[in-house]
Structure 1
Amino acid sequence: MDVSPKDKFVTVYGRKPVLEALDDPRLEVDKVVLADTARGAAAREILDAAGRRGVAVQRASAQRVKVLAGNGKQDQGVLADVVAPRMRPLEPGLRDRPRHVLVLDGITTPANVGMILRTATAAGMDGIVVPRRGVASIDPMVVKASAGVAFRAPVLRCGTAAEAVAALRGAGYPVFALDAQARSTVYSADLPARAAFVLGSETAGISDDVRPHVTGWLSIPMAAGVESLNVASAAAVLCFEVVRRRES
């Protein structure tokens, strides 16, 4: 399973998000990368803020900043790598035998990913798998939607959701997925002490390469003719029910 340097950091880009990270004493900023074309008052503000925190500033080409940020339109020539103390690659994370793990599969809307990170962390889930491919990157939009919780969420990183569920099955975890048509519900199903739960996209559901690894399907009961919930709302129902059972 491949490992990326971004398995340790949340990379924020753009002048305002970088300044907010530098001005937040609760956050450890590893480094700032500033385009060598950046000049004037905006660049000086970044340099001064980094200097006050003792954070190293690296100069790079504007193109290199775009590549590192992963966003060619909104980086504004600057990014910062913020240490995420609970973020790590999936396989080392599984060695600690987390009890309940949430896997994001094909969720590409940053607002949904951010809200799920906030909800799952608040509920007390032990791990949230955010694959580097097929899911919205943990970027300033996700950080904003999570109200900053993304920096301290128990994120587990891997390449794809399919890699994640294969690794979880290999580590002995049953894998449950949400499906509106499933006969077992999140309230009635027999959930083991250790399990993984997959959330698919609202349009495509669980992806085809993840489905073969699913060992059980769960639904959330709906009333009044409502067909389904937004994926972030579904995550809230699932996570709090899983943790409620664990603690009761």
Structure 2
Amino acid sequence: MYGRKPVLEALGDASLVVDKVILADTARGQAAAEILQAAKAAGVAVQRASAHRVKVLAGNGKQDQGVLADVVAPRMSTLAAALAGKRPPSRVLLLDGITTPANVGMILRTATAAGLDGVIVPRRGVAALDPMVVKASAGVAFRAPVLRCGTAREAAEMLVEAGYGLFALGASARSSVFDIELPQRAAFVLGAETAGVGDEVGELVTEWVSIPMPGDVESLNVSAAAAVLSFELVRRGTAR
């Protein structure tokens, strides 16, 4: 998380655990003093670093304002651990090739709001869970049920082996997301912004589904499609 106001809000949020704050050595004045005071009150360590280092860590040199914070994500786990647990997730999203941080962040916010059991965010081929994703999620990324694995293909194989139905969103699919019958455990693949679901994952898909669009529009933004899907699961009462 970066920026003075977001970091101050995180330090003042009793529901969040802040591991540390990194403040640029050029940061001075009232804003820096407020952050130091808030960190001290919360018992959080503050490290000083060069302004360049802060920009590199934040990944957004224009908006970091010389400060960032590492915040613990309590619901983050590995996909392997979730599948091996006593109560494996029943409804999950799998991100495949989504590289725009804003889309990943908005999907995390939507899925969390809808009460889905997990969003699988592979370490490779998908936007990193960095401050830009956190900002796009409006901070919800810290509370999102994020499940990690190496690649989307690896996740798809693990899900199929565990008995999940694997449904992929595709604009040309004949089956409607509103009509399909779902098994007890189902995973929904959301593909890249332009290329869609990749072939490596596509060959493992149980069924392709689409969102009916009577209007003259070819497709929805992937985060909008995720919202439609997530709240269709809420409507069915099967989000969890």
TM-score, structure 1 normalization: 0.83
Contact map agreement 2:59 2:132 (CA 8 A) in 1: no
Aligned residues of 2:59 and 2:131 also touching (Cα < 8 A): no
1:51 and 2:40 aligned: yes
Q: Deviations over 1:168-202 (max 9, x none)?
A: 22322221110111121112222111011111123
**Deviations for 1:31-90, whole angstroms, at most 9, x for unmatched residues?**
123345545544333222200111122344556545544556654443211122211222
1:222-247 residue CA offsets vs partner (Å, 9 max, x unmatched) = 10333222212211221222343344
Equivalenced residue count is 237
Contact 2:96 2:192 in 1 (8 A): yes
Partner of 1:214: 205
1:112 maps to 103
List alignment gaps of at least 5 residues for structure 1.
1-11
Q: Which of 120, 140, 152 does residue 149 from structure 1 map onto?
A: 140
Checking the alignment, whether the CA contact within 8 Å between 1:193 and 1:246 is kept in structure 2 is no
Q: Do the aligned partners of residues 163 and 36 (structure 1) sit closer, same or farther apart at CA in structure 2, a change above 3 Å counting?
A: farther
Q: Distance in 1 between matches of 2:3 and 2:98?
A: 23
TM-score after normalising by structure 2: 0.85
In structure 2, what is the equivalent of residue 6 of structure 1? none
Aligned counterpart in structure 2 of residue 122 of structure 1, from 107, 110, 113: 113
Does the 8 A contact of 2:60 with 2:132 survive in 1? no
Out of 226, 231, 237, the residue aligned to residue 240 of structure 1 is 231
> What is the 5 A alignment of 1:1-248?
12-36=1-25, 38-60=27-49, 65-66=54-55, 68-71=57-60, 74-96=63-85, 97-247=88-238
Contact map agreement 1:186 1:238 (CA 8 A) in 2? yes
Q: CA RMSD in A?
A: 2.5
Q: Which runs of 5+ in 2 are unaligned?
A: none
Q: SS of the counterpart of 2:196? A: coil
Q: Percent identity?
A: 73
Q: Which AA in structure 2 matches 1:54? A: G
Change (3 A) 1:161 1:55: same
Aligned residue number for residue 4 of structure 1: none
* Local SS of the residue matching 1:52: helix
